Structure 1
Amino acid sequence: MQFKNLQIILVFVTYVSFVLSSPIEVKDKTASSIQNLKATEEMQSITDKIKVTEFRGDDGVDALLEVGGFDNDSDMYRFILDRMGYNITNIFINRKGMACSAFHSPNEKGNGYYFGRNFDWVNDCNKLIMVNHPDNGYSSISTVNTDFISWVNENYPLEQLMEIAVTQPELIKPLPDELVRLVSLYIPVDGINEKGLSISVNMVPGEFFNQNKEGLRHLTTGSANRVLLNKAANVDEALDILKNSNLHSTLDINIHFLISDSTEKSVTVEYINNKMIVSETKIITNFYIADEIKEYSIDEDGRYKTIEDKMKQFPNMSINNVRDTLNAVNQEEYTQWSVIYDQLNLEATYFFNINYEKGYHIKLFDDESDDETIVVSDLETSIVFDDSDSDDESNF
């Protein structure tokens, strides 16, 4: 197997809020054409910045849980990749900045729910849609910023690698696709599984968390996302997993989760003084929801209020309403993707780089057989967003 002795650099995200004086107006609303995607075990390029792939088989989650997990990403990635045949000598994670928004809304027929999410990043990143079909777990669709991941083929000490990432970025190489598929399983930032459970992870201010209760497994931010998508059928099961885990924030970055399922249940999970706090909510951005820490509960750029107002205006949203709401809180060039997870039909619709006229659709179980010879469609689907129910510009 190639690329056996690589040092992996996982460039993770620091979630920060970009302050806007007012919500961004939607200036152009035309019908969205949607291209169907189907994943294979190959890394298929949709554009030069967007890829789609799938994994089938033993993704390592059961083994990770059997050993009790890890309290840091370096040991966790080394363990996972070693099981898959790679001798990884060193792993570290670096930071860059972003802001995010997510919300959960009933659909227009009242028989299901949508989960909308914006991922905002400091530059035009490489994006991966990952479809996972584990041997012993729920299938899922998730999204990854693969700019988190780079490698150098030298055995530098960790401190030197961190310095190189900042002072000599020309030495940092893109990770081969063969390994991107594997590493990306453990760094999703949002996703939906076959039971309709949907997740978004967003940054919040304050001190990082590092739980160490005796007798509990250890999960980092990324591995927690993967375990929840693989093992939780609903919000209650997700909370049970987190309650029985010591969670460790990657890079000492504080985050919170929005977790919702195919029912009306939707919660945020936050960590305050190493204590897990659960609050019922339909919306998160980048400030705390919990009553216990109101001093950080400031909607600085109005994204939360904008989403809240749209949900009041459209208590049962169409997919168009969800799209337009995500557009209303986009962060201009920073918004890398907007995704709408359909928790009833188990599918995702993506819009990249605030181009809401062109979307990409992928269904979790588009092919009922075990045949993996499926490819990215070159044809545009007949699914077209009809803007007859789009919001008037005056509403933004």
Structure 2
Amino acid sequence: MKEIEVTNKIQEIDNGFRFSKIEGNYGLDEFIKRNGTTSVMDLIEFLKENQLISESANITLEDPGFACSSFLVHKKDEDGFYFGRNFDYSNSKATVLLTYPENDYSSIFTVNLSFIKDNNNSLTEEDLKYLSVYAPVDVDNDTPKPDIITSVAIRLLLDKAATVEEAINILKEYDMHQSLGLYTHFAITDAEGNAVVVEYINNEMTYVHSPINENFFLTP
């Protein structure tokens, strides 16, 4: 098996499958301190204002048609767990990104950049990396809580939560809004084998303990 060195440059190891890493501050804490947002375009403007992506970037979001499933299983004959997720996408530009924020948890995650449409071929390699950090994936709530969109919520959990319990408590602090007008849910697991699926039903956050998540709501 060939060992690949992950660098700050985006590398392509197969057609449409790339990887890279990003270190330091990518604006999450600053964005969260704002008064909340219900729009991905607000996030894109924030990234431009803070010079994390090019001012000339002309981006819109589109739904390429997607679904996905995930599972958590115990390792055979040893401690620990495996978590797996598939992309049920007809067209997928997959990027694996390693993140090393200054004061939070590091993470490895996979994002589908097919959601991002570059309208004038203006995106640089750095633009793609910072957009990958917040790329939309997978509800609109309306309570007095601060607003957040799904893509920022995922990044918040990866950086701030070490356990399922911590993740649930973070999500309880916000009103969730969809990135692409789609109904979504979150499959969350931790190193101790805890697994939940968080969903938003009738303006309320709910969660179900389950090691399996498919393309249907699990809330009874």
TM-score, structure 2 length as denominator? 0.92
Q: Give yes or no for contact 1:149–1:180 (8 Å, CA) kept in 2.
A: no
Match of 2:95 in 1: 128
SS of structure 1 residue aligned to 2:111: strand
Q: Deviations over 1:230-274 (max 9, x none)?
A: 111110110011000111012220001110000121000011112
What root-mean-square deviation, in Å, do the aligned CA atoms of Structure 1 and Structure 2 show?
1.9
Separation (CA, whole Å) in 1 of partners of 2:28 and 2:8: 19
Q: Does 1:210 align with 2:158?
A: no
Separation (CA, whole Å) in 1 of partners of 2:154 and 2:78: 28
Higher relative contact order (CA 8 A, sep 6+): 1
Task: Using the TM superposition, give the Cα deviation of residue 217 of structure 1 relative to its aligned residue in structure 2, in angstroms.
Answer: 2.5
SS of structure 2 residue aligned to 1:36: coil
Q: Does 1:183 align with 2:131?
A: yes
Q: How does 1:33-52 map to 2 (within 5 A)?
A: 34-52=1-19
Amino acid corresponding to residue 75 of structure 1 in structure 2: D
Match of 1:289 in 2: 218
Separation (CA, whole Å) in 2 of partners of 1:233 and 1:90: 35
Match of 1:75 in 2: 42
Q: Give yes or no for contact 1:72–1:220 (8 Å, CA) kept in 2.
A: yes
SS of structure 2 residue aligned to 1:116: strand
- Which of 166, 175, 178 is the equivalent residue of 1:246? 175
Q: Give yes or no for contact 2:35–2:146 (8 Å, CA) kept in 1.
A: yes
Radius of gyration: which is bigger? 1
Name the CA shift for 1:89/1:176 in 2 (closer, same or farther; >3 Å): closer
Unaligned 5+ segments in structure 1 are 1-33, 154-172, 190-200, 202-208, 292-396
Match of 2:148 in 1: 219
Q: Give yes or no for contact 1:258–1:267 (8 Å, CA) kept in 2.
A: yes
Task: Using the TM superposition, give the Cα deviation of residue 289 of structure 1 relative to its aligned residue in structure 2, in angstroms.
Answer: 0.9
SS of structure 1 residue aligned to 2:180: helix
SS of structure 2 residue aligned to 1:105: strand
Name the CA shift for 1:89/1:67 in 2 (closer, same or farther; >3 Å): same
Q: Deviations over 1:48-98 (max 9, x none)?
A: 321111101101111011114311100012112321353267653211212
- Which of 163, 184, 189 is the equivalent residue of 1:255? 184
Q: Give yes or no for contact 1:143–1:188 (8 Å, CA) kept in 2.
A: no
Amino acid corresponding to residue 61 of structure 2 in structure 1: I
Separation (CA, whole Å) in 2 of partners of 1:109 and 1:188: 37
Separation (CA, whole Å) in 1 of partners of 2:206 and 2:156: 19
Amino acid corresponding to residue 213 of structure 1 in structure 2: T
Separation (CA, whole Å) in 2 of partners of 1:177 and 1:100: 27
Name the CA shift for 1:88/1:244 in 2 (closer, same or farther; >3 Å): farther
Q: Does 1:232 align with 2:179?
A: no
Q: Does 1:112 align with 2:80?
A: yes
Match of 1:264 in 2: 193
Task: Using the TM superposition, give the Cα deviation of residue 145 of structure 1 relative to its aligned residue in structure 2, in angstroms.
Answer: 1.4
Q: Give yes or no for contact 2:40–2:179 (8 Å, CA) kept in 1.
A: yes
Spell out structure 1 runs of 4+ moving beyond 6 A.
none
- Which of 142, 149, 158 is the equivalent residue of 2:109? 142
Q: Give yes or no for contact 1:69–1:76 (8 Å, CA) kept in 2.
A: no
Task: Using the TM superposition, give the Cα deviation of residue 128 of structure 1 relative to its aligned residue in structure 2, in angstroms.
Answer: 0.9
Q: How many correspondences in the alignment?
A: 219
SS of structure 2 residue aligned to 1:117: strand
Separation (CA, whole Å) in 2 of partners of 1:36 and 1:224: 32
Amino acid corresponding to residue 36 of structure 1 in structure 2: E
